[in-house]
């Protein structure tokens, strides 16, 4: 998705509905982790863009795949050049909605269910995951943990290194959003 | 005599294989290169960098993507995201230069104030509302 479409998407989330309580960040955190007996892999990105509309229960996330940092140089190279092909597919995006019991705009911790579409490596897939919103005056913290399968996004792991990479990757999301 | 030669040859072969393996392991497991030790391809003002990407993203990528830049600008915002610190440089536009700061420099971020002019060296990872730099180090 190019820059103009991304702005349009964010504007749509901002403009839909009546009274909006819209929160935004440019520095959300996403990490993905793979554990095997041969190797543990961790990659972290702290430049995740997110917008959350509390009143209309919509949210969107976007990040540059080159923003993921690994502990080993070679892993980072392989990730960008061979697995996610970040030159061709530079961004990962999620757009969706969330539901949960009670009034989700009240201060406090809320367990929610997020449903939407994740686009990665040129493939869009539905994604649902439980998440948590912590509403405080002037700040919303959103956290989620879920699993992804690289093959679902047409990410091919060479057989030579397949034993080093878990078939299911664990993803952590943590974003502190502030009023837009 | 022949036995001694064969033994020496075997010993040398084992040493060569061991050295080769050690080198290969070092290459495979090497950490990312420290941006502070790398040469920058360009030194640029924050507003110029942003303007280049805003007008023609592809041109920006061809010039700067995955390259080391030194960017000069004023601090619009700073903060922390998980284990990482960030500084956003203002550009006069809607977006900024979003700099993720290398953990080795994280203590320096505490001394930075809003509107302070700074110079940051980092790797450009592309454009997403802001121009993003990672592995940033503050240049004194």
Q: Which of A26, A66, A90 sits opposite B98 (nearest CB)?
A: A26
Query: What is the C-alpha to C-alpha distance for residues B66 and B102, in angstroms, rounded to an integer?
Result: 16
Specify the DSSP class assigned to residue B140: -
Q: What is the pLDDT of residues A26-47, one digit of tens each?
A: 999 999 999 999 999 999 999 9
C-beta atoms of A3 and B82 within 8 A: no
The residues near B91 (Cβ < 8 Å, ≥ 6 apart) are B46, B47, B49, B50, B51, B73, B97
**pLDDT for B129 beyond 50:** yes
Question: Which residue intervals of chain B are DSSP H helices?
Answer: 2-29, 46-55, 57-64, 106-109
**pLDDT value of position B134:** 95
* Residue B105 vs residues A67, A104, B68: alpha-carbon distances, Å: 18, 38, 17
CB contact under 8 A, A67 and B66: no
pLDDT at B130: 97
pLDDT grade for A10, boundaries at 50, 70 and 90: low
B81, B83, B94: best to mutate for the A interface, most A CBs within 10 A? B81
Name the strand (E) or helix (H) holding A5. helix A3-15
Q: A48-71: per-residue pLDDT in tens? A: 999 999 999 999 999 999 999 999
> What distance in Å separates the CA atoms of residue B55 and residue A137, rounded to the nearest whole number?
38
Q: Please tell me the pTM assigned to this model.
A: 0.89
Residue B47 gets which letter from DSSP? H
Hey, of A60, A61, A64, A76, which one would you mutate to test binding to chain B, going by the most B CBs within 10 A of its CB?
A: A64
pLDDT band per the 50, 70, 90 thresholds, residue A15: very low
Report the DSSP pairing between strands A40-53 and A69-70: antiparallel
> Phi and psi at residue B21, in whole multiples of 5°?
-65, -40
Q: How confident is the model at residue B19 (pLDDT cuts 50, 70, 90)?
A: very high
Average pLDDT score, chain B = 93
Cα separation, A44 vs A87, whole angstroms: 19
Residue A70 touches chain B, beta carbons under 8 Å: yes
pLDDT of A4 > 90? The answer is no
Task: Please report the pLDDT score of residue A19 as a whole number.
Answer: 45
Residue B33: per-residue pLDDT: 87
Contact B70, B43 (CB under 8 A): yes
Over A66-126, what HEC string results?
A: HHCEECCHHHHHHHHHHHCCCCCCCEEEEEEEEECCCCCCCCEEEEEEEEEEEEECCEEEE
Q: Read off the pLDDT of residues A164-177 as tens digits, 9 standing for 90 and up.
A: 899 999 999 999 99
State the Cα–Cα distance between residues B30 and B100, nearest whole angstrom: 21
Question: Can you give the pLDDT at residue A12?
Answer: 52
Q: Say whether A47 and B81 touch across the interface (CB within 8 A).
A: yes
Closest chain B residue to A26 measured between Cα atoms?
B98
**Of how many residues is chain A composed?**
180
State how far residue A29 is from chain B, nearest Cα, in angstroms. 6
Q: Which helix (H) or strand (E) holds A3?
A: helix A3-15
Residue-wise pLDDT for A107-129, tens only, equals 999 999 999 999 999 999 999 99
Sort B85 into a burial class: Cβ within 10 Å, 0-12 / 13-18 / 19+. buried
List the single residue in B31, B32, B132 with the smallest CB-CB distance to A67. Answer: B132
pLDDT digits (tens, 9 = 90+) for B87-125: 999 999 899 999 999 877 778 888 899 999 999 999 999
Contact A76, A70 (CB under 8 A): yes
Between positions 26 and 65 of A, the ones with CB within 8 A of B are 26-29, 31, 44, 46-49, 62-64
Across the interface, do B129 and A64 touch by the CB < 8 Å criterion? no
Q: Give the whole-angstrom CA distance, residue A79 versus residue A155.
A: 10
- Measure B13 CA to nearest chain A CA, in Å: 27
Q: What is the pLDDT of residues A73-93, one digit of tens each?
A: 999 999 999 999 999 999 999
Position A7 scores a pLDDT of: 55
- Cβ-based contacts of B29 with chain A (< 8 Å): 72, 74
Contact assignment for A47 to B28 by CB distance below 8 Å = no
Rounded CA-CA distance A94/A124 in Å is 9
**Which pLDDT band, with edges at 50, 70 and 90, does A102 fall under?**
confident
Q: What angle do CA A73, B137, B30 make, to 5 degrees?
A: 15
| Inter-chain residue contact B128 with A49, CB threshold 8 Å | yes
The reported pLDDT for the residue numbered B2 is 81
């Amino acid at each position: 998705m190019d820059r103009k479409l991304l702005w349009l998407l964010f504007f749509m989330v901002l403009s839909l509905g009546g009274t909006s309580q819209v929160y935004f960040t440019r520095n959300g955190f996403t990490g993905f982790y793979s554990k095997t007996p041969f190797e543990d892999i961790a990659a972290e990105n702290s430049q995740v863009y997110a917008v959350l509309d509390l009143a209309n229960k919509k949210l969107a996330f976007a990040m540059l795949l080159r923003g993921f940092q690994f502990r080993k140089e070679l892993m980072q190279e392989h990730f960008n050049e061979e697995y996610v092909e970040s030159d061709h597919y530079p961004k990962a995006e999620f757009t969706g909605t969330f539901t949960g019991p009670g009034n989700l705009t009240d201060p406090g911790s809320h367990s929610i269910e997020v449903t939407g579409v994740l686009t990665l490596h040129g493939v869009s897939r539905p994604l649902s995951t439980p998440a948590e919103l912590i509403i405080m005056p002037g700040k919303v913290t959103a956290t989620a943990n879920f699993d992804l399968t690289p093959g679902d996004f047409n990410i091919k792991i060479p057989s030579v290194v397949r034993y080093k990479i878990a078939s299911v990757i664990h993803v952590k999301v943590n974003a502190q959003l502030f009023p837009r | 005599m022949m036995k001694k030669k064969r033994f020496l040859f075997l010993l040398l072969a084992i040493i060569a294989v061991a050295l080769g393996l050690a080198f290969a392991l070092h290459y495979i497991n090497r950490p990312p290169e420290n941006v502070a030790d790398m040469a920058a391809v360009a030194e640029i003002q924050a507003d110029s960098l942003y303007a280049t990407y805003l007008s023609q993203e592809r041109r920006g990528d061809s010039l700067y993507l995955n390259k080391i830049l030194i960017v000069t600008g004023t601090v619009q915002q700073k903060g922390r995201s998980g284990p990482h610190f960030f500084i956003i440089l203002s550009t006069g536009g809607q977006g900024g230069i979003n700099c993720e700061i290398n953990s080795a420099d994280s203590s320096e971020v505490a001394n930075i104030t809003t509107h302070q002019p700074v110079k940051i060296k980092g790797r450009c990872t592309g454009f997403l509302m802001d121009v993003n730099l990672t592995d940033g180090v503050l240049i004194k």
